[in-house]
Amino acid sequence: SRIAVLASGRGSNLQAIVDAIAAGSLHAEVVAVLSDKPDASALAKVPPERRWAQSPKAYVDRAAFDAALGDALAGFAPDWVVCAGYMRILGEAFVQRFSGRLINIHPSLLPLYKGLHTHARALEAGDAEAGASVHFVVPELDAGTVLAQARVPVLPGDTDEALAQRVLVVEHPLLIASLQWLVAGRVAEREGRLEVDGNPL
């Protein structure tokens, strides 16, 4: 399978994908990394011909940026598109164009804490557990069908950073497991519902 990754920053989730492929546990290839941040460290994890990065400031509006991103992405002919720390909202036209093969990893137990500052919000709420979710992307932010989740405990004295780090550790295997199932064709989304081995959940 051909995997393209959208990333805005560090790229530890992308690194986990690269490592799983190298270890032979994920039968895929990272065909492209695309970013809205030309200086994102994630970009350095693939060779230059597999990179695309543009600042949205170079475009008149969101639709124009999304169209350029979408055209570049389509040029890499991905089977799967993974948002991994991609911090820019994707417009409806873009989401429709890649619908069914577009997933995101979000650092909360969805449907809790869509959007930003998930760890601070979990701590503020006094939650006993936090975690991460992999979900299919729909136009509404962080609202698509959840494919898989991983949980960690919230510990006494936790800070945002400590909790974020504990969640990140489980994000990596969660994303790899999700991709293994997608690539193997074991899980798919049809009409907003998850199917496993062809059976609706």
Among 27-35, 100-108, 109-117, 143-151, the segment contacting ligand GRF (CB under 6 A)? 100-108
Percent helix, strand, coil in the chain (nearest 5)? 35, 25, 40
Instruction: Determine how many CB atoms are found less than 10 A away from the CB of residue 126.
Output: 7
Per DSSP (E only), the strands in 78-128 are 80-84, 102-106
Tokens, residue 98? 């890649």
CB 51: neighbour CB atoms within 10 A? 18
Q: Applying CB under 6 A, which part among 64-72, 94-102, 105-113, 140-148 lies near ligand GRF?
A: 105-113
Candidates 106, 152, 174, 178: give the one binding ligand GRF (CB under 6 A).
106
Token pair recorded at residue 2: 């051909």
Q: Cβ 133 to ligand GRF, closest distance in Å?
A: 9
27 belongs to the catalytic site: no
Could you tell me which stretch among 10-18, 22-30, 68-76, 153-161 binds ligand GRF (CB under 6 A)? 10-18
CA distances from residue 12 to 86, 175, 201 in whole angstroms, order as listed: 12, 11, 31
Largest Cα–Cα separation, the chain: 48
Q: Which of residues 155-174 bind ligand GRF (CB under 6 A)?
A: 168, 171
Please report whether residue 46 would count as binding ligand GRF according to CB under 6 A. Answer: no
Shortest distance, position 87 Cβ to ligand GRF, whole Å = 7
36 is an interface residue for ligand GRF by CB under 6 A? no
Tell which one of 2, 10, 121, 166 touches ligand GRF (CB under 6 A): 10
Helix or strand or coil: residue 194?
A: strand
Specify whether the CB–CB gap between 189 and 39 falls below 8 A. Answer: no
User: Which positions touch ligand GRF (CB under 6 A)?
Assistant: 7, 9-13, 84-85, 105-107, 132, 168, 171
Residues of each annotated binding site: 11-13, 62, 87-90, 104
- Catalytic residue list: 106
